[in-house]
Structure 1
Amino acid sequence: MASNWQYHMFKSMSRLISSLPYSWVLLIGKCLGRLYYHVAGRQRKRALQQICEGMSLTVAEGEQIIKSLFTKIGQTFLEIMYTPVLTPQNFERYITLENRHYMDEALAQGHGVVILTAHVGNWEWLGAGLALTGWPITSVIKRQPNDQHTRLLNEYREMVGMEIFARGTTELVAAAKAMKKGKALGFLADQDAGRSGIFVEFFGKTASTPPGPAVFAKRFKAPVVPCFAVRKKEGGHRLLIYEPMYYQDTGNEAEDIKNFTIRMTNMLEDVIRTYPDEWLWFQKRWTTQPENPAVDSLQAMTATVAAGKADNRREGGGRLD
């Protein structure tokens, strides 16, 4: 009952926020973000430590970026509550697409598309902007600790035209079927992947990295299109679409998946370095460390490939590739 109460509370808050002018949403969000900076001591300290280490910054330089980050987080939170305002007719008032031809060309190949993204800017409005453009967008999501938060987010994702699959469930079979139909499947590839991840370098430290984008790109011979939403100074977002990346098959499956994961991780790092106050630096990104880097990475990739083949057999398919 308590959790249902939370859902209805956030839904009511969303209705109120959606009645405001967008300029007010940004102003109130900025104030909330500044407040959050002062009360979220653990996240603030972790973010400062990780950005200073990862980007070789002084404490003063790091603090300036993290203060800006928290301000933008406050705005993003209110923007997510503002999502019901977005429609196919008006979303370009808030979201400007750049290089949309890359997505058009990738989808036209007919193999589906893997969307590579991260917790950069307002990633929820990234998905909304792609879907409202008319592209067939699906996404693999991680459930929130509170099911009612997940319920509201998924309701808004589906409202703008996205199809949602939960990570780590049998819904991944449905995600594979969506790729077979030529749809685009989004992955947030910047979270700690635990023991099932591939260990690669990220900002100078070993990080357990999700293998999903590489595995799906291999399995469906699909292009990988990096996409990110970054905030404009005057308000709203630039939706950046980058040139597609392609899986290189040399016949050594484990090494090929690892090498492609490294290329994609380097791409994420380049974007974060360009827009450092847009990424969630307080994520526990480097929590999982390999006991034996060579062995752990090989085992993770082997398990990932085996799981993909098992899913394929359950669908009635043959080879993974």
Structure 2
Amino acid sequence: MAFNAFGFAWKHAYKIPGPILRGLLNVAADVTWLLHNGGVHQLEKNLQRVRPDLTPKQVRALSRPAMRSYLRYFGEAFVLTHASEEQVRHRVRAVNDGPVVAAIAAGKSPVLALSHQGNWDLAGVWASAHLNPVLTVAERLKPEEVFQDFVTFREALGMTILAAGDSGVFRELLRAANGPGRLICLLADRDLSASGIEVDLFGRRARVAAGPAALAVGSKTPLIPASIHYERITGERRRHAGSPWGIVITFHPEVEVDRTLPKTEQVAAATQGWVDALAQTIHAHPQDWHMLQKVFIEDLDPERYARTLAKESHG
């Protein structure tokens, strides 16, 4: 069922006029929000941690535009292969791209740490055209047909995709990071490997992926956090973009790494560094953090998490 829905959307969504498609997705988001299923419930738990100043009623209200933002991402993804270069260019506004541009000019392949914010696929298309070709890692979805659809979709946009969990992925990333001509973009606010790192996130313990920091430390490549949020666009820019929505990519300062520390401590400190940077934008634009999964330690199954920690300590 999921495969058919995704496959149908990728083949036919572009035929639907933009305003109608956006309206349909808003309706789907609102219905999902009203049903208040497990994913929406978890989203609200995460939003409450991001904005502890809000009452439960205010968090519930915030989750509605958050679901619309989440479905907007999918709607844009379904038609992104049909977007022109001009449309992509006008849909994206880059802020503080100096550090990443300088690193590329110096012949390096920077590592970008990202979270599930805004439209990361649109950001990847823009970056591949205006910075360096993007190399990234994607979660291996089930069934396999859905995963292959996502890989085909992203590779059609100019990105190179590796599958999380496949053997040799980190070695391939390390090889790329040690040479020029790439931009290595890693969505890391969820630990998909069961070997993540505990960090402080909004004053609570959370578990994120070690990949960006481990790769930057191992290759001595710049680690640059990059956050994404939606913005309304108007006037001439909207006409050229072909959409009322654009994204802002904010490139945060390079994470400083103390090379005198043991490597494990370097990785832990660098991970906390990129998490702190991205938390700023998540707090400012919580509705665009598409996190319907468990990332905070207190939400994880205690016994299973204890077994994970025990396995790591003996690994």
Give the TM-score band, short-chain normalised.
0.7 to 0.9
**Distance (Å, rounded) in 2 between the aligned partners of 1:288 and 1:105:** 44
Q: Is structure 2 residue 98 aligned with structure 1 residue 88?
A: no
How do residues 176-255 of structure 1 correspond to structure 2 at under 5 angstroms? 176-182=174-180, 183-193=182-192, 195-234=194-233, 235-255=245-265
Name the SS of the counterpart of 1:82 in structure 2.
helix
CA deviations 1:21-77 (Å, max 9, x no partner) are 433333322222112212352122222233224431211221121111011112111
What's 1:19 paired with?
Answer: 15
**Distance (Å, rounded) in 2 between the aligned partners of 1:226 and 1:288:** 29
What amino acid maps onto 1:174 in structure 2? E
What's 1:319 paired with?
Answer: none
CA deviations 1:234-279 (Å, max 9, x no partner) are 4222222223223221232222221111111212222211111111
**Distance (Å, rounded) in 2 between the aligned partners of 1:95 and 1:19:** 23
**Distance (Å, rounded) in 1 between the aligned partners of 2:247 and 2:158:** 19
What amino acid maps onto 1:113 in structure 2? P
**Deviation >4 Å, runs of 4+:** 288-293, 295-298
**1:87–1:299: structure 2 CA closer, same or farther, 3 Å change rule?**
farther
CA deviations 1:141-176 (Å, max 9, x no partner) are 111122222111111211111011112222412222
Asked if the contact 2:178/2:221 (under 8 Å) is kept, the reply is no
What's 1:41 paired with?
Answer: 37
Asked if the contact 1:214/1:247 (under 8 Å) is kept, the reply is no
**1:151–1:32: structure 2 CA closer, same or farther, 3 Å change rule?**
same
**Distance (Å, rounded) in 2 between the aligned partners of 1:10 and 1:168:** 23
**Distance (Å, rounded) in 2 between the aligned partners of 1:127 and 1:225:** 15
**Distance (Å, rounded) in 1 between the aligned partners of 2:158 and 2:307:** 43
What amino acid maps onto 1:256 in structure 2? Q
How do residues 1-321 of structure 1 correspond to structure 2 at under 5 angstroms? 6=3, 10-56=6-52, 57-172=54-169, 173-182=171-180, 183-193=182-192, 195-234=194-233, 235-286=245-296, 287=300, 291=306, 299=313
State the 1:79 CA deviation.
0.8
**Distance (Å, rounded) in 2 between the aligned partners of 1:140 and 1:65:** 30
**Distance (Å, rounded) in 1 between the aligned partners of 2:311 and 2:268:** 8
CA deviations 1:92-120 (Å, max 9, x no partner) are 13223333333211212323211110111
What amino acid maps onto 2:96 in structure 1? N
Name the SS of the counterpart of 1:107 in structure 2.
helix
Q: TM-score, normalised by structure 2?
A: 0.84
**Distance (Å, rounded) in 2 between the aligned partners of 1:156 and 1:194:** 24
Asked if the contact 1:195/1:288 (under 8 Å) is kept, the reply is no
State the 1:216 CA deviation.
0.7
User: Any unmatched runs of 5+ in structure 1?
Assistant: 304-321
CA deviations 1:173-196 (Å, max 9, x no partner) are 222222222222111111135641
Name the SS of the counterpart of 1:138 in structure 2.
strand
Give the paired residue count: 296
User: Any unmatched runs of 5+ in structure 2?
Assistant: 234-244
What amino acid maps onto 1:44 in structure 2? V
**1:113–1:82: structure 2 CA closer, same or farther, 3 Å change rule?**
same
**1:195–1:161: structure 2 CA closer, same or farther, 3 Å change rule?**
closer
**Distance (Å, rounded) in 2 between the aligned partners of 1:164 and 1:77:** 18
**Distance (Å, rounded) in 1 between the aligned partners of 2:36 and 2:140:** 22
Asked if the contact 1:193/1:208 (under 8 Å) is kept, the reply is no
**Distance (Å, rounded) in 1 between the aligned partners of 2:108 and 2:27:** 45
